[in-house]
Structure 1
Amino acid sequence: MNIFVFPTSNLHEHLGVDVLMFVAYLRECGLGACDIAKLCSRQPWLLTANLGRVQAMVECAENIGVPRASGMFRHALHAVAFLSEDKIAARVNYLKNTFRWTDAEVGMAVSKAPSVLARSKESLQRRSEFLISEVGLEPLYIAQRSEIIGHSLEGRLRPRYYAVKFLKENGLLKRDPSYSTVFKISEKAFRKKFIFPHKEAALHLAEDYDAACKGDVPTNFRFT
């Protein structure tokens, strides 16, 4: 529910002074009504938080490299909502070690995808092993495209990787695609580009890909 749609003339009748100050402050930080509504829908406690805590969140977001003007600013506020400075530092250090990033690279990764701070250690470890050890991506490549880490490993990353790997091994691709594109495009676009054109040459590709998206392990594929 969007709580920011009341007529301006009646706003004080619907929202308390603290909430009005909260909304005004976030507007000063560059967030529009839609962004504020989305932030509060995920963090409803913000509506009763004191302004000092919200200001501290904004400072944390800026400290991890996400300026107020960034399109990722709302996501950064969500990521740091329940994290102290010590916890943020610990998670940044874990990311650095897990993905073999330099200080500059981990800073880049967090600024591009603040949500990585909210992921569990197990989730990050599994993605690191897959992207670096299995796919063969360089740490810098991942840092520059850290939004990849936010995608489902079993529901998107693995199925798409194995589908493209099969196409490459069987000479069905004219050129190697960027894994950034492979992982980021919509499901509809992926199927249109990598599945549908090969229905005749690879009779089981669509079926195997569908099975992979449902969680079947790669060893069950008939790609090879």
Structure 2
Amino acid sequence: AAPISPNPSSFAVEEYLVHACGLTRPQALKASTKLSHLKSPAKPNAVLAFLSGLGLSGADAAAAVAKDPQLLCAKVDKTLAPLVDGLTGLGLSRSDIARLLSLTPDHFRRRAMLSRLQYYLPLFGSFHNFLRLLKNSSRLLYLNLDKVIKPNVVFLRECGLGDCDIAQLCIHAPRLLTANPERVWAMVACAEGIGVPRGSGMFREALHAVAFQSKEKIAAKVDYLKNTFRWSDAEASVAVRKYPRLLRKSKESLKRRAGFLFSEVRLEPVYIAYRPEILSYSMEGRLRPRYYVIKFLKQNGLLDRDLSLFYAVKMTEKVFAEKLICPHKEAAPHLAEDYATACKGEVSTNFRFR
């Protein structure tokens, strides 16, 4: 919409928000309460023109104003333009800046934005990674860097995590950066408590697995694993240490995999305990279809070696096809189609075993 002429005597905030900014009537009514001091559309007109110059569409600008009506009161020359210049200096494109503004318009007009990005961008490795975290936790932009964020980062580094590890970990659990440092220390102790020491290759996974879970909840999950997979204390400890994400798996998914691996594949509990990653694969997309292929090949004398299901499910689709399907095109011309059908959750006649 075209800017409204800056005539104070005719300026009505709610109408301006509807006709110039594109807000809905309910949005405008709510936003106008925060802009009642405005006597002229001159400053809002300048802000809208600036947003348009950044590349924001009318809908994006309207959404930003609805989130933060006081954005319209920002000074373009003293606040918005210098910030954009600073962000450009950090390597952000105008489209990056527009996305950042759309996501957090209330922070965009604050001078601290620039100093925070100067810290976060090197830590997270890219603006894309930072944006992913920001979508999950806008607290990154207003918590105290020196009292909360930086102490947590320093501590995680002391635990053997590199900046890349911290970025990947916090994309999924951003509260590891924004939580009170004492809570982060407690979570690290909890990760060590499940048998994964600091500095080990699995520590990042362990920390993610236990993050913001109580000791009681973790203990209950371990008990469930022991009962479901018939594991001893030692076997459960091995499984969790090798694959900490077990603690995040739903009970239903674990129960289904246990039923399949015990009843159909006939695996022993100890075998699964020492290869717990097998529980990470999709039942329909990986475990069951590949088991059917192996069983078919064995029953028809087409497999000249003892191939474990665990070895088979770890293969990429390309390698699996090259090793177990393509070599049998003549003897089993239907195998590729049967496998594809099984991956869709259906079972072909050839895969109905007695």
- 1:195·1:206 contact (CA, 8 Å) conserved in 2? yes
Q: What code does the residue aligned with 1:167 have?
A: L
What's the counterpart of residue 232 of structure 2?
102
Of 172, 185, 189, which aligns to 2:315?
A: 185
Q: Does 1:169 align with 2:299?
A: yes
Q: What code does the residue aligned with 2:286 have?
A: R
Aligned partners of 2:220, 2:351: CA distance in 1, in Å?
Answer: 41
What's the counterpart of residue 47 of structure 1?
177
Aligned partners of 2:330, 2:151: CA distance in 1, in Å?
Answer: 61
What's the counterpart of residue 159 of structure 2?
29
SS of residue in 2 equivalent to 1:76: helix
Q: 1:4 to 1:139 in 2, by over 3 A?
A: farther
SS of residue in 1 equivalent to 2:201: coil
Q: Which has the higher contact order (CA 8 A, sep 6+)?
A: 1
Q: Where do 1:139-154 residues align within 5 Å?
A: 139-154=269-284
- 2:290·2:309 contact (CA, 8 Å) conserved in 1? no
- 2:191·2:203 contact (CA, 8 Å) conserved in 1? yes
- Structure 1 residue 183 displacement after superposition: 1.8
What's the counterpart of residue 10 of structure 1?
none
Aligned partners of 1:27, 1:65: CA distance in 2, in Å?
Answer: 19
Deviations 1:145-196 (A, max 9, x none): 0011111111100010001110111100101112221122222221111111
SS of residue in 2 equivalent to 1:164: helix
Aligned partners of 1:70, 1:4: CA distance in 2, in Å?
Answer: 26
Aligned partners of 2:340, 2:212: CA distance in 1, in Å?
Answer: 37
Of 107, 112, 117, which aligns to 2:242?
A: 112
Q: Which runs of 5+ in 2 are unaligned?
A: 1-116, 124-143
Aligned partners of 1:151, 1:223: CA distance in 2, in Å?
Answer: 20
Deviates more, 1:45-54 or 1:88-97: 45-54
CA RMSD after TM alignment: 1.7
Q: Does 1:62 align with 2:62?
A: no
What's the counterpart of residue 262 of structure 2?
132
- Structure 1 residue 82 displacement after superposition: 2.8
What's the counterpart of residue 215 of structure 1?
345
Of 97, 115, 122, which aligns to 1:5?
A: 122
Aligned partners of 1:188, 1:23: CA distance in 2, in Å?
Answer: 39
- 1:4·1:33 contact (CA, 8 Å) conserved in 2? no
Aligned partners of 2:157, 2:211: CA distance in 1, in Å?
Answer: 18
Identity across the alignment (%) = 62
What's the counterpart of residue 195 of structure 1?
325
What's the counterpart of residue 157 of structure 1?
287
Deviations 1:41-85 (A, max 9, x none): 111222211111111111111111111122111111111113100
Q: 1:221 to 1:28 in 2, by over 3 A?
A: farther
Q: After the TM superposition, which parts of structure 1 deviate over 6 Å for at least 4 consecutive aligned residues? A: none
SS of residue in 1 equivalent to 2:122: coil
Aligned partners of 1:133, 1:70: CA distance in 2, in Å?
Answer: 35
Aligned partners of 2:189, 2:349: CA distance in 1, in Å?
Answer: 48
The structure with more radius of gyration: 2
What's the counterpart of residue 106 of structure 2?
none
- Structure 1 residue 221 displacement after superposition: 4.0
Q: Normalised by the size of structure 1, how large is the TM-score?
A: 0.90
